[in-house]
Amino acid sequence: MRPGGKSSDFKICDKSDYAAGRWICFYNKSSYLSALINPVMEPKETIAMKSERFKSFNYAIGMFGTSIPINMLKTYAAIFYVDQLGLKTTQWAMILFIYTFIDALDNPVYGFLSDRTRSKWGRRRPWLVIGTPLLVLGLIAFYNTPAFLAGEALYAYAMLFYIFTGTLDSVINANYAALFPEIFPDDTSRAKANAMRQAFQLLAMIISIALTPLITNMIGYGWTSVIYGVLGGVVILYMSLTSQEKEVAPGEKKAELWHSLKSLFANRKFWIAGFANAFYSAAMSLVLAGLPFFVKYRLQIPDAQSTILFASVLLIAIVCVSVWAYFVRKYDLVLIWRLALATLALAYVPLFFANSLITAILSASLVGFGFAGVITTMDLIGARVMDEDTEKHNVRREGFISSALGFMNRLSGLFTSAAFLALSVFFGFESGDNPGPQPGNAARFLLTVFPFLLMIISLGFSFFIDFKGRKPLSAEGVRAVEGEGQVE
């Protein structure tokens, strides 16, 4: 009844088909008939679009959370332990060398166990929820070194917590990456979600890489690790609890270890994509680790100004992700991937000749442009590899393959380890206490020469892979494969 009206007034209420739980009431026949002819309810297409955006956001923001801790670990571990605490470059090279093999071996194990997990929480969520607090604790412990440690004790402590934190990052990222092809089954949705995901990653890099010198100058590495760890952990948990993975169908086959290993070893495209990714990852790891050395020893400007240099790379990358995503939607994915790799490789040439903050910023901007292209395309290549495996073998093992790609990615540690060892051999750079006679050239070699060579190799691998004659799985194709994967 209309407020203040008579009991005989016309009143009819109808539940909207589009906004569940909401009732719309009409107090006269003309308004009711008008609503029937010209409905004002929100159309289903609009709600579907909003739902798709929320799905993309809930998943994509996870990249922000996963990137914060690992960026701080990988970027500032060397400058913290070598330059500030006096760990030798040969010791740091050994830490990276050992970590590479441990992390390479445990990655496929985590993915395989994740694929076989069956719980009311799903396959990926238990690993994400349990692993996140441990990751946070590992990061905090790594950067809060007991003051009494020195020499071999410091070396052992750094190795223990670098490996522990890096391994937990592998657990988190193996399960996070496995969700990507499950939630987004086609190139269109993947390109949109990945563009948002990479934007969050770059935002995380601005905070955890570009701003870190300013923050650590104010509060130190210890408290910075606490803030970054908690921030990243909260975001990862939000993503874990809001992203809906595909439910495991009753009777769906579990991945078998021997069959998974055999098919993976025979998968040529996996190895090509994996090696291309490994050499690219090594190049960017050296850029992130080498930039603080470059700022201090080559440019000879205050450490805090490395923030400006990092920001120039990342801000350009944020702007250009959407440009590369447009290219992916308009042109062939593999072609754009190769173009991005070539662009990043060439960007190191002008950076080699940079001798001031201004010339370094201009050169680093080119690195940012190429970097944006690679991060926009690399994950889509990996998703294509997973699609083909699912179609061919009728079993879902995104976790195993994403972890195996992570294993290949971890091989980049061999190259970064070799680069730090080369600083000692060729330039006499041992530590911040003994930087040798040519610290500027050592820093330039670390930041530009070695990454350039690695990117050329990565580009070479990309010419041995293609996905012609097929399209990524549609939603219907995924459901069909899941049905074929069931056992009676």
Of 52, 24, 20, nearest to 39 (Cα)? Answer: 24
Q: What angle do CA 462, 193, 64 make, to 5 degrees?
A: 95
Q: What is the DSSP letter of 42?
A: P
pLDDT at 330: 87
Question: 289-341: per-residue pLDDT in tens?
Answer: 788 888 888 888 776 677 787 788 888 888 888 889 888 888 888 999 999 99
Average pLDDT over residues 52-59: 79
Separation of first and last alpha carbons in the chain:
57
The closest alpha carbon to 92, from 20, 154, 180, belongs to 154
What pLDDT does residue 279 have? Answer: 92
Min mean pLDDT across 51-60, 265-274, 374-383 is at 51-60
Determine the pLDDT at residue 90.
86
What pLDDT score does 19 carry? 38
Structure tokens at 317: 């990358």
The proportion of the chain whose per-residue pLDDT surpasses 70, expressed as a percent, equals 81
Q: In this structure, are residues 16 and 24 in contact, taking their beta carbons and an 8 Å threshold?
A: yes
Residues 378, 366: Cα–Cα separation, whole Å: 18
Which is more confidently placed, 289 or 235? 235
155: nearest Cα among 94, 224, 223, 72: 94
% of the chain surpassing 90 pLDDT: 21
* Mean pLDDT on 11-28: 46
> 3-state DSSP call for residue 7?
coil
pLDDT band of 476, cuts 50, 70, 90: very low
Alpha-carbon distance values, 306 to 23, 296, 352, 464 (Å):
57, 9, 16, 38
Q: How confident is the model at residue 440 (pLDDT cuts 50, 70, 90)?
A: confident
Q: Give 278's contacts (C-beta < 8 A, 6+ positions apart).
A: 408, 409, 410, 411, 412, 415, 458
**In the predicted structure, residue 18 carries a pLDDT above the cut 60:** no
User: What is the chain's length?
Assistant: 488
Residue 357 has pLDDT above 70, yes or no: yes
What span, in angstroms and rounded, lies between the C-alpha atoms of 433 and 188? 52
Spans of all domains in the chain: 1-33, 62-241+269-466
258: which residues sit within 8 A by CB, 6+ positions away? none
| 470 phi, psi to nearest 5 deg | -150, 160
How does residue 165 score in pLDDT terms, banded at 50, 70 and 90? very high
H or E segment to which residue 265 belongs: helix 257-265
Q: Give the pLDDT band of residue 434 (cuts 50, 70, 90).
A: confident
> Is the model more confident about 268 or about 264?
268
Instruction: Taking residues 93-115, report their average pLDDT.
Output: 80
Q: Tens of pLDDT along 129-150?
A: 999 999 999 999 999 999 888 8
Cβ-count burial 332-364 (b if 16+ within 10 Å, e if not): ebbebbbbbbbbbbbbbebbeebeebeebbebb
Please report the pLDDT score of residue 429 as a whole number. Answer: 83
> What is the second-level CATH architecture of the domain 62-241+269-466?
Up-down Bundle (1.20)
- CA angle in degrees (0–180, nearest 5) for 371-373-378: 95
Task: State residue 291's pLDDT score.
Answer: 82
H or E stretch at 136:
helix 125-143
Distance, CA of 397 to CA of 137 (rounded, Å): 30
Q: What is the pLDDT of residue 28?
A: 53
**Predicted confidence (pLDDT) at residue 200 exceeds the cutoff of 80:** yes
- Rounded CA separation 235/213 (Å): 23
Collapsing DSSP to helix, strand or coil, 41 comes out as: coil
Query: What are the pLDDT digits (tens) for 408-429?
Result: 776 777 788 888 888 888 888 8
One DSSP character per residue, 301-367 reads --GGGHHHHHHHHHHHHHHHHHHHHHHHHHS-HHHHHHHHHHHHHHHHHHHHT--SHHHHHHHHHHH
